[in-house]
Amino acid sequence: MSENLDLTPEAAVRAVMQDILGLDAEQVAAFTSETELFGALPELDSMAVAGLLTELEDRLDIMIEDDEVDGELFETFGNLVAFAEMKAAE
Amino acid sequence: MSAALEYARYPSKGHDELCLRVGVQHAKTILLVPPLFDEMNRMRRMLVDVMRLLDARDIGTALPDLPGTNESLFPQEQVSLVLWREALAHCLQTLPECRHVASFRGGCLIDNISDDSRQWRFAPAKGSMLLRRMMRTRIASDKEAGLSTDMAKLTAEAQQGQVNLAGNSIGSAMFSELQDAEPAPPDDIRTAQLKNSAQRGDVALPGSALWLRAEPDDDLLLSQAIANDLLSWMSS
C-alpha cells in the first residue's frame, strides 16, 4: 500500500515544484531546463529548498548528502532535473 | 461554513491542554491527530475547514494541541512521540462518543492509541523525513548567518541533550524516536494520498501538498475531499 509508483526523476521534480509553489500542472509543465529557480521564485526560500530535497529523497528513494548541495543546483530547473537523474541512477 | 469553534481541555502530565472542538452536540465525533512541527501550522486552516464541513453533516470533531505545541505550557524539549501518544489517549478519554481517529502526515506516527477506534490516515510521513527537513532548515539558516553546520554535528548535539531545529527544541528522546519512526502497519486502516503523490493509498484525493508550501494556506478542494472520504469511511 505504501509502495512507490514508478516516477521519472523529471516527473518527480515537476511534481514537487508544483506542490511547493502551489502551481497547477499546466504551469509546471511549462518549465523548461532554462527556467530560473532560486532567486527568481520568491516562494523558493531556504526552508522550501529543505522541503524540496527531503521530498525528492522520499519520492525517488535516494539520499542527498549535505556536501552535494550548492547554489548552482537550484539555478535552473534543468540543473535540478540533471541532479535528480544522476542521483536516481546511482 | 459558520460552525462555532469551541475550546475544550484535556489533562496530560499535570497540564491542561487545549482541544479545538466543532459540533460538540453531534452523536459521532472524530479525533483528528494533527501533523507535527511546522507542518501543523501549514495545514491547520485546511483541517479547521474539514471540521466545519463535517459539522454541516452532523459529525463532531476534536483537534487537540499536542503538549509543547501551540498554547501548551509543557516544556517543548521534554516532549517525545511516546508522550504525545499518551496525551492523545488522555484526550480520547474525554470524548466518550469518539470511535474514529483520523491522522495527518506525522500524526500517523502517534495514532495507535486505542484498540476500539477505527483509523484513517492522510499522507503518512516517516519520522526520518520530518527530521531531515528540520535539520536542513537549520543548516540553511546557519549558513545564512555564516556558520557551518552539518547533519552529523546536529545529531551529536541532540544526543547531548537537545537541539534547536527550525524553531523546535528537539530533546534527545524525540530525536532518536524520529530517526526510526514509521507509521504502524496499516491493518484495517484506510489510507488517503494525494492524486499526484508517488505513494499508493486506498483512495487518491484531489488537492495540494500544503505541508511543502512556504506559507500556510487553505485548500477547500482538499478539505472537501477529506470530509467526503471521512463520511463514506464512517458509514462503511
What DSSP letter does each residue of chain B carry, written as one string?
--PPEEEEEEEETTEEEEEEEE-TTSSEEEEEEPPPTHHHHHHHHHHHHHHHHHHHTTEEEEEEPPTTSTT--S-GGG--HHHHHHHHHHHHHT-TTEEEEEEEGGGGGS----TTSEEEEES---HHHHHHHHHHHHHHHHHHTT----HHHHHHHHHTTEEEETTEEEEHHHHHHHHH--PPP-TT-EEEEETT-SB--SEEE-S--GGGSSS----HHHHHHHHHHHHHHHT-
Does B145 lie at the interface with A, CB-CB under 8 angstroms?
no
* pLDDT for the residue numbered A48: 84
Longest Cα–Cα distance in chain B:
56
Does A54 lie at the interface with B, CB-CB under 8 angstroms?
yes
Q: What is the mean pLDDT of residues B132-144?
A: 91
* pLDDT for the residue numbered B40: 95
Does B1 lie at the interface with A, CB-CB under 8 angstroms?
no
Q: What is the mean pLDDT of residues B130-141?
A: 93
Q: Please name which of A10, A11, A20 lies closest in space to residue A52, comparing C-alpha atoms.
A: A20
Q: Please name which of B191, B200, B193, B156 lies closest in space to residue B175, comparing C-alpha atoms.
A: B156
Mean pLDDT of the residues in chain B: 94
Beta bridge partners of B193: B204
A6 to chain B: closest CA residue? B198
Judge: B140–A49 Cβ closer than 8 Å, yes or no: yes
Residue with cell 505513494: B199
Is the pLDDT assigned to residue B35 strictly greater than 90?
Answer: yes
CA distance B225 to B218: 13
Structure-model confidence comparison of residues A26 and B105, the more confident one: B105
Is the pLDDT assigned to residue B51 strictly greater than 60?
Answer: yes
Is the pLDDT assigned to residue B115 strictly greater than 80?
Answer: yes
Q: Hey, what's the cell of B32?
A: 483528528
Beta bridge partners of B153: none
Question: What's the pLDDT band for B122 if we cut at 50, 70, 90?
Answer: very high
Is the pLDDT assigned to residue B96 strictly greater than 60?
Answer: yes
B206 to chain A: closest CA residue? A24
Judge: A66–B151 Cβ closer than 8 Å, yes or no: yes
Residues 69 to 108 of B: which have CB under 8 A from any A CB?
Answer: none
Supply the DSSP symbol for A43: T
pLDDT per position as a tens digit, B194-218:
987 878 899 999 998 999 988 889 9
Which chain A positions have a beta carbon within 8 Å of B166's beta carbon? Answer: 47, 50
A7 to chain B: closest CA residue? B198
CA distance B159 to B173: 8
CA distance B184 to B170: 22
Q: Terminal CA-to-CA distance of chain B, rounded, Å?
A: 25
Q: At residue B201, what is the residue type?
A: G
Q: Please name which of B109, B116, B140 lies closest in space to residue B40, comparing C-alpha atoms.
A: B109
pLDDT per position as a tens digit, A80-90:
999 999 999 98
Which chain B positions have a beta carbon within 8 Å of A49's beta carbon? Answer: 136, 140
Q: Which of A1, A20, A66 sits opposite B212 (nearest CB)?
A: A20
Judge: B136–A19 Cβ closer than 8 Å, yes or no: no
Judge: A55–B212 Cβ closer than 8 Å, yes or no: yes
Task: Quote the pTM value.
Answer: 0.93
Judge: B196–A49 Cβ closer than 8 Å, yes or no: no
Q: What is the mean pLDDT of residues A19-48?
A: 87
Is the pLDDT assigned to residue B145 strictly greater than 60?
Answer: yes
ipTM of this complex? 0.85
Supply the DSSP symbol for A76: B
Mean pLDDT of the residues in chain A: 87
